[in-house]
C-alpha cells in the first residue's frame, strides 16, 4: 500500500482543480510501438499538457492549498531541472504569487526559457540539482519566501490525477505492468497510491539511469542511499539524494526498480519518434527503455509507460535523432 493516505474524495477534488487548466491527456496504443515491443503497449501522453510535462498537475494543487491556507505567502522558491519549475511558474502566475527557481549551471536552455516565459525568476547555481536545491532553501529563508520541496503530498496528489485518468480509461484489458521514471518520485508514488485506492493488481516498475542509481540503491536497501554523482543526460532522473518519504512509498508499493543505460534512453527517444511521431525528452523516454529491457513475460500481456514530458532542447534532440547519445 502507498504511504500518502489519499482518499478518493481528495483525488476527485484534485482532478477538479487540475481540470480547470489541464484537459485529460490522451492514452494510445500505437501499433508500430506495440509491434516493436512484441506485446501490447499503452502510452500515457503527459507530454500533452500546457507545459509539456506531468508536473503541472502538482503545482496547481500545491498553489490551491497555499492560497487557501497560507494567503500571507508572497512567493515560493524551489529547485528543478525544468518541469517542476515550469509547474510552479504556471500555477504561481495564476495564483499571483512570485516564483523563483534555482537550476544547476548547464541546465536545459529551453526549459530555462520556458520558466522565464511563465514569469519565474531563474537562478543558475551549482553543478547539479542537489547543490541548486540546497541554495534554493537558503534563498527562501533569507527572503521570507516559502521553500517548495521536490517531493510533497500536494504535488503527488496533483500528479495522481493522471494515474486516475489512465486507470479509469483502460478497462476490459487491465494493465499488467506500468513503467514509470523516478526522479524525486512524485510520478511513481502517485501511480502506486491510485492503484491501491482502486484495488488494482497492476505491477509498478520504476526506471532510473545506470549513471544515477540512487533511487534503485535506496529501493534495494529499504532506505535512502545517496551517490556522489548523477552524471546522466537524463536530467529528469538525475537524483543523488532521494527523499525518504518518496523511497518509503516506492519500497512499499513498487514491484521493482530497474536501471537502463543512457544509450538505451537515446534509442527509446528515437523509437518513440519513429513509431508515434511524439517528441519525448530523455526522462519521458526512460520508462520505455525500461519496458524494452524486460521480456514480454515480465511485462505481461498489456504493459504501459508514462511519457512524462517532451521538453527536450532542439540541439539535443537533433543529436539523438542523428544516432548519438548526449554526454554530460
**pLDDT tens digits, residue range 248-286?**
999 999 999 999 999 999 999 999 999 999 999 999 999
Residue 237 pLDDT grade (very low, low, confident, very high; cuts 50, 70, 90): very high
Q: What is the rounded average pLDDT for all residues in the chain?
A: 96
- The one-character DSSP state at 309 is B
Answer yes or no: is pLDDT of 192 > 80.
yes
Q: What domains can you pick out in the chain, each with its CATH number? A: 8-53+153-322 (3.40.50.1100), 55-147 (3.40.50.1100)
Answer yes or no: is pLDDT of 102 > 70.
yes
Sheet of 121-124, strands arranged across:
121-124, 98-103, 75-79, 146-147
Q: Rounded mean pLDDT of 139-146?
A: 96
Rounded Cα–Cα distance for residues 95 and 148 (Å): 15
Residue pointed to by grid coordinates 503545482: 59
Answer yes or no: is pLDDT of 101 > 50.
yes
Rounded Cα–Cα distance for residues 327 and 266 (Å): 11
Q: Rounded mean pLDDT of 83-93?
A: 96
Please answer whether residues 25 and 162 qualify as being in contact, where contact means their C-beta atoms are separated by less than 8 angstroms.
yes
**Angle (deg, nearest 10), helices 186-198 and 153-169:** 50
Answer yes or no: is pLDDT of 213 > 90.
yes
- What is the pLDDT, as a whole number, of residue 42? 97
Residues, the chain? 328
Q: Rounded mean pLDDT of 39-45?
A: 97
Answer yes or no: is pLDDT of 33 > 60.
yes
Q: Residue 225's CB: how many other CB atoms inside 10 A?
A: 17
Rounded Cα–Cα distance for residues 183 and 290 (Å): 14
Residue 3 pLDDT grade (very low, low, confident, very high; cuts 50, 70, 90): low
- What is the pLDDT, as a whole number, of residue 115? 96
Answer yes or no: is pLDDT of 69 > 70.
yes
Helix residue ranges per DSSP H, 52-152: 56-69, 83-95, 109-117, 129-143
- What is the pLDDT, as a whole number, of residue 2? 53
Give the pairing of strands 40-45 and 121-124.
unpaired
Provide the β-strand partners of residue 179: 205, 305
Q: What is the pTM of this model?
A: 0.95
- What is the pLDDT, as a whole number, of residue 4? 79
Residue 1 pLDDT grade (very low, low, confident, very high; cuts 50, 70, 90): very low
Please answer whether residues 177 and 299 qualify as being in contact, where contact means their C-beta atoms are separated by less than 8 angstroms.
yes
C-alpha cell at 26: 490522451
Q: Rounded mean pLDDT of 162-186?
A: 94
Find all residues with CB under 8 Å of 212, minimum gap 6, and list them.
227, 229, 230, 231, 232, 234, 237, 238, 239, 240
Rounded Cα–Cα distance for residues 83 and 87 (Å): 6
Q: What are phi and psi of 269, to 5 degrees?
A: -60, -45
Amino acid at each position: 500500500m502507498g504511504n500518502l493516505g489519499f482518499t478518493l474524495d481528495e483525488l476527485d477534488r484534485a482532478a477538479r482543480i487540475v481540470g480547470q487548466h489541464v484537459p485529460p491527456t490522451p492514452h494510445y496504443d500505437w501499433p508500430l510501438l506495440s509491434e516493436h515491443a512484441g506485446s501490447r503497449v499503452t502510452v500515457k501522453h503527459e507530454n500533452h499538457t500546457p507545459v509539456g510535462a506531468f508536473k503541472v498537475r502538482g503545482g496547481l494543487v500545491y498553489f490551491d492549498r497555499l492560497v487557501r491556507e497560507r494567503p500571507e505567502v508572497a512567493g515560493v522558491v524551489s529547485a528543478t531541472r525544468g518541469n517542476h519549475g515550469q509547474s510552479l511558474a504556471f500555477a504561481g502566475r495564476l495564483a499571483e504569487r512570485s516564483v523563483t527557481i534555482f537550476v544547476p549551471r548547464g541546465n536545459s536552455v529551453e526549459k530555462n526559457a520556458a520558466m522565464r516565459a511563465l514569469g519565474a525568476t531563474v537562478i543558475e547555481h551549482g553543478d547539479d540539482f542537489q547543490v541548486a536545491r540546497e541554495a534554493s532553501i537558503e534563498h527562501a529563508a533569507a527572503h521570507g519566501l516559502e521553500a517548495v520541496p521536490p517531493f510533497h503530498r500536494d504535488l503527488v496528489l496533483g500528479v495522481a490525477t493522471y494515474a486516475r485518468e489512465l486507470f479509469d480509461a483502460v478497462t476490459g484489458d487491465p494493465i499488467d505492468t506500468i513503467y514509470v521514471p523516478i526522479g524525486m518520485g512524485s510520478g511513481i508514488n502517485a501511480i502506486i497510491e491510485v492503484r491501491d485506492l482502486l484495488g488494482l493488481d497492476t505491477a509498478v516498475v520504476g526506471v532510473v539511469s545506470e549513471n544515477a542509481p540512487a533511487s534503485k540503491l535506496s529501493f534495494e536497501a529499504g532506505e535512502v542511499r545517496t551517490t556522489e554523482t548523477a552524471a546522466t543526460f537524463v536530467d529528469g532522473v538525475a537524483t543523488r539524494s532521494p527523499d525518504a518519504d518518496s523511497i518509503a512509498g516506492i519500497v512499499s508499493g513498487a514491484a521493482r526498480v530497474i536501471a537502463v543505460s543512457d544509450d538505451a534512453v537515446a534509442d527509446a527517444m528515437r523509437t518513440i519518434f519513429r513509431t508515434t511521431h511524439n517528441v519525448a525528452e530523455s526522462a519521458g523516454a526512460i520508462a520505455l527503455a525500461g519496458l524494452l529491457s524486460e521480456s514480454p513475460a515480465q511485462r505481461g500481456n498489456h504493459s504501459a509507460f508514462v511519457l512524462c514530458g517532451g521538453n527536450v532542447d532542439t540541439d539535443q534532440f537533433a543529436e539523438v535523432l542523428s544516432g548519438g547519445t548526449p554526454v554530460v
